[in-house]
Structure 1
Amino acid sequence: MGSNRTGWLMLAPTLLILGVFGIVPFFYVLYLSFHQWNPFAANPNMIFIGANNFRRLVFDGEFLTSLWFTLKFAFFAVVSEIIIGYMLAQMLTRDFYGKGFFRTIHTLPLIVAPIVVGSVWRLMTTPSIGIIPYYLNKWFGYQLNIGSDATAAFIITVIMDIWHWTPLVTLTLLAAIVSLPKDPFEQAQIDGANRWQIFWHITLPMIRPAILATVFIRLMDALRTVDEVWMLTGGGPGAATRFVGLHIWKIVFPKTDYGYGSAISIIVLYLTLVMCWLLYVGLVAPRVRRSKVNADA
């Protein structure tokens, strides 16, 4: 009994911080989503409008477009980061010249603030002074201008996110790989399994929890990205990189429509939870059921 009380006392500061900065703001935003509120209007009072904000966003073309671009961005960025991060993690399990230096350089983007990352990439992609447009024009004759080319702007935002967050994936998967037992791999090699069979039947199932946790983290971050893209493209050209986070920002701050912005935030949170739940059901639940069947047998 005393140990349980001590445990709750140790958790109390964390629970307090979570309640103050997480739960309370969530319920406040949920409350705002059922109101029409512009504190800078002639009538600054909240007006209860029920579910009208949620009904409005279903027919909001700008919101649906930003949601579609956000889902595309999250898919390409997260999938690329998982693949590249796994390849780099496997490379770092081997010894090669300059391994320590490469690991240090590789992890440097993680300590750079997102707004700085966006600023640096904006400088690198500016047609007149950027190093990327210069060499693309010199080597391939391609004129890169993310201010007028919507496809190029979207691709550059994905590449920027990959550059910034792949080191996190690499470190996570590297920790999972180096902790794997050697016996299953040695036995598979003795039985004549090739590299693909070893990866598919041994490595992947054993590091699946680490991959799933990494996907959850990166998916949630990708769906709410704002500062990097804001500094790089400002959401343009047009709406090519106006992701949901930027759309909410423009609704809440320039337009000061706090109620509608809160409704969009709630829907985005709900969609994020649904996607994470679907990933869990698709990747973890079948494995749990197979384990129970094998145990019963």
Structure 2
Amino acid sequence: MTIDHAPGRRPAATPDGAAPPAAPDRRRTRPPSLRRRSGRLGWLFSAPALLVVGAVTIFPIVFSVLMGFSHVTVTGGGFSLSGTTGENFSRVFGSERWRHALEFTVEYTVATVVVETVLGTLIALVLEKLTTGRGWMMALLLLPWAMITVVSAELWAYVYNGVYGVLNAVLNPIVGHDVNVLGHSFSATVAMAVADIWKTTPFVAIIVLAGLVMLPHDVVEAARIDGAGPWTVFWRVRLPLLRPTLAIAVMFRILQAFGIFDLPFVLTGGGPGNSTESLAMLGWRVMMQDLDFGPGAAVATTTAALVLLGCLLFLRVFRAQVGSEDLS
């Protein structure tokens, strides 16, 4: 015997006590032909953007890999590729200059990304608590990030100048002589890191602020009702929920910091000596100044491979920490 029920009400249970099977939701199912047409339409609209990405990103990477494994001969009209060889990579891996550039780039990336993540999170927490003036504070915060890196590097070069710089004017009366922070390896590295942190911390802060705003407030309120203090709520509740957002910010910063070129190029020129020479600067110098295209392409290829490997390892560790969180 069937039991009729009014629309919008729960169906009555069957005589044996089990609930009747739910009717399929026909509104959410689409015919396969309609799904295929929607998929083709999506690919059609995405094709121009994908072609641009392939032309400006994928093709240069593939061509640099091909050049790195080829004999490159410089000619009057450019260069020519012939044969296949691993000599370019052998020269790169055996170069002390490449190892120093790799060490500097890794240390610089780790140091700046860690500091920027901590400062960006603290700034985001402060902005979240603001009730008035948050818009103005965010606009002021974004000014360094919106500034072109070459311009900000020139500004910091003026600050660090050992003759007429602002920092020298402050420290000269204290130490009794001119202070040229860009003239020593360690101080030049720290000065460059400070300029980078000043510029890119707002980027991390805005991303983390967006994640904080999207956190479920009911979970936080439940923890507070249970007696958790502010530090416990942040460390045990909010920070785990914020990990996907932090992962996005950190991954973007790793990609940017590992390929840094314009800041050391303008601020230090890779000096003193080659103490602040990044992998990107090394590849540019070998290829464009020395006209050694094969090893230069090998440097670019190894840099791209290291960035890809680092991001994959980071995502693997992140997935292991969050457990059920899925970044895809």
TM-score by length of 1: 0.91
Structure 2 unaligned regions, length at least 5: 1-35
In structure 1, the residue matched to 2:69 is 34
In structure 1, the residue matched to 2:216 is 181
Matches of 1:21 and 1:219, distance apart in 2: 21
In structure 2, the residue matched to 1:124 is 159
Matches of 2:203 and 2:48, distance apart in 1: 28
CA contact (8 A) 2:282 2:299 kept: no
The letter of the residue matching 1:137 is: N
After TM superposition, list the pairs within 5 Å mapping 1:131-280 onto structure 2: 131-138=166-173, 143-280=178-315
Matches of 2:270 and 2:233, distance apart in 1: 44
Deviations 1:60-89 (A, max 9, x none): 000000110111110111111000000000
Q: 3-state DSSP class of the match of 2:130?
A: coil
CA drift of 1:196 comes to: 2.5
CA drift of 1:183 comes to: 1.0
CA drift of 1:101 comes to: 3.5
Larger radius of gyration: 2
Matches of 2:182 and 2:58, distance apart in 1: 39
CA contact (8 A) 1:36 1:260 kept: no
Moved more, 120-129 or 80-89: 120-129
Of the three residues 54, 68, 90, the one matched with 2:89 is: 54
Q: 3-state DSSP class of the match of 2:231?
A: helix
CA drift of 1:95 comes to: 2.3
The letter of the residue matching 2:162 is: P
Does 2:65 align with 1:20? no
Percent identical residues:
29
In structure 1, the residue matched to 2:121 is 86
Q: 3-state DSSP class of the match of 1:37?
A: strand
CA contact (8 A) 1:40 1:256 kept: no
Check 1:96–1:42 CA distance in 2 against 1; reply closer, same or farther (3 A cut): closer
Q: 3-state DSSP class of the match of 1:39?
A: strand
Check 1:96–1:152 CA distance in 2 against 1; reply closer, same or farther (3 A cut): farther
Q: 3-state DSSP class of the match of 1:46?
A: strand
Check 1:57–1:198 CA distance in 2 against 1; reply closer, same or farther (3 A cut): same
CA drift of 1:194 comes to: 2.2
Does 2:43 align with 1:8? yes
After TM superposition, list the pairs within 5 Å mapping 1:280-295 onto structure 2: 280-288=315-323
Deviations 1:13-58 (A, max 9, x none): 1111112112222211111001232425899543435111112212
CA drift of 1:6 comes to: 1.1
Check 1:151–1:291 CA distance in 2 against 1; reply closer, same or farther (3 A cut): closer
CA contact (8 A) 1:144 1:152 kept: no
CA contact (8 A) 1:124 1:130 kept: yes
Structure 1 runs, 4 residues or longer, greater than 6 Å off: none
Q: 3-state DSSP class of the match of 1:238?
A: coil
Q: 3-state DSSP class of the match of 1:256?
A: coil
Matches of 1:142 and 1:273, distance apart in 2: 46
Matches of 1:35 and 1:71, distance apart in 2: 28
In structure 2, the residue matched to 1:295 is none
Check 1:11–1:97 CA distance in 2 against 1; reply closer, same or farther (3 A cut): closer
Check 1:38–1:115 CA distance in 2 against 1; reply closer, same or farther (3 A cut): farther
Matches of 1:130 and 1:247, distance apart in 2: 28
- Between Structure 1 and Structure 2, the one with more helix by share is 1
Matches of 1:182 and 1:44, distance apart in 2: 61
